[in-house]
Structure 1
Amino acid sequence: MITVFIIDDHKMVIEGLKLLLKDEKDIEVVGHEYSAWAAYEVLPKIQPDVVLLDINMPEINGIDACKHLTALIPNLKIIAITMHKEASLIKMMLANGAKGYVLKNAGKNELVEAIQTVQKGKMFLDEISNEIVINTMSNSKKKNTNAALFPKLSRREKEVLKLILDEHTTQEIADKLFISFGTVETHRRNMLIKTGTRNTAGLVRIALEYELHK
């Protein structure tokens, strides 16, 4: 029996994953948490085989959480479960100890295969993620540049980023773009995740270095 623990800040996602795995004879979901901080407390006691970990979460993102969890429990096998398709995120998750990467729109068969594969000590990328990595490597060889690894920001994220670079406060950005304070913070958090940075200073450095705001 493969024991599975889920970390995701959306109850609907957790319930959906449980439902998908409910009838699998060799897989048992033994618990869940809505944040990595909470999971740090219970995982050493439960010692599951596999953790399904979301990337976009409050307090601490999945990239940092993956690094901490694999240090906390060396034999833990982590599979990223996310909507993000950026090659940079896939590489960062794998570099931080994840054994698998599965998009949330993948089917049940791929999810089950991912769990069974990582439990055997092998790596698993779903079909789309695998294609992204292969294309990135191919493009990198052709162009001899890291440009293919740069995360793609949405139009709104670029608008927010430009105002951050102009040293506007969150409230000023919200007023200029006619959006809420919380929406600005959500865009900021998503950009931190996409760029693998921990704070606004790191985001500004990466943005200027790679011209992500253009």
Structure 2
Amino acid sequence: MIKVFIVDDHQMVIEGLKLLLQDEAQITVVGNAMCAEDGEEGIAQSNPDVVILDINMPGINGIDACKKFIKKWPELKILALTMHKESSLIKMMLGNGAKGYILKNAGKDELTQAIHTVSSGKMYLDDLTNEIVIKAMADGNKVKKSNGLFPKLSRREKEVLKLILDECTTQEIADKLFISFGTVETHRRNMLIKTGTRNTAGLVKIAMEFELYK
């Protein structure tokens, strides 16, 4: 029996995964958490074989959580389940010890196959992720430094980033862009994840070095 623990900040995703896996004879969900900090406690208590881990979460993101979990439990198998398709995030996740990476549009068959594969110690990438990795490797020597290390920021993310560089507070950015405080924080968090930085100071440093605001 493969024991699975789910870490995702959306309860609907957690419940959906439980529903998909409930009839699998060789897989059982032993616990879940909506953030990495709670996930760490749950993992310690339930001793799972596989952790299904999202990337975009409050507090510690999935990339940092993956590294932390593997350092603490070297035999643990991490399967990233996310909506993010950027090659840099895939690289960071796998580099931090994840055994698999699949997108959230995956079906039941692919999910169960991924769980079985990583549980056995083998690597699993879904077809699209595999194509992204191969293309990134093939294009590695052709891209410019400014866009080769990081995925492109969206137009709104660049707007938020420019105001961060202007030393605007979150509320000031929200007022200037006519968006909510929470939306600004979501954009900030997404940029931290995309760039692999831990805080706003790190984001500013990377943004200036690679001109991500342009």
Measured against the shorter chain, the TM-score band is over 0.9
Say whether residues 1:17 and 2:17 are aligned partners.
yes
Q: How does 1:1-214 map to 2 (within 5 A)?
A: 1-143=1-143, 147-214=147-214
Quickly say closer, same or farther: Cα 1:147–1:177, change in 2 above 3 A: closer
CA contact (8 A) 1:136 1:149 kept: no
CA distance in 2, matches of 1:85, 1:136: 12
Residues 17-65 of structure 1 deviation map (CA, whole Å, 9 limit, x = unaligned): 1111111111111111111111212212211100000111111111111
CA distance in 1, matches of 2:143, 2:193: 26
Q: How many residues in Structure 1 have an aligned counterpart in Structure 2?
A: 214
Residues 129-182 of structure 1 deviation map (CA, whole Å, 9 limit, x = unaligned): 111111111011345857333212111111101111111111111111011111
Structure 1 gaps, min length 5: none
CA distance in 2, matches of 1:152, 1:30: 37
Give the SS at the match of 1:140. coil
Q: CA RMSD in A?
A: 1.4
Structure 2 gaps, min length 5: none
Question: How far did 1:72 drift?
Answer: 1.4
Relative to structure 2, which stretch is displaced further, 140-149 or 69-78? Answer: 140-149
CA distance in 1, matches of 2:146, 2:11: 37
Q: Which consecutive segments of 4 or more residues in structure 1 shift more than 6 A?
A: none
TM-score (norm 1): 0.95
CA distance in 2, matches of 1:176, 1:146: 27
Quickly say closer, same or farther: Cα 1:146–1:132, change in 2 above 3 A: farther
CA distance in 1, matches of 2:45, 2:172: 45
CA contact (8 A) 1:82 1:104 kept: yes
CA contact (8 A) 1:140 1:146 kept: no
TM-score (norm 2): 0.95
Task: Give the percent of matched residue pairs that are identical in Structure 1 and Structure 2.
Answer: 71
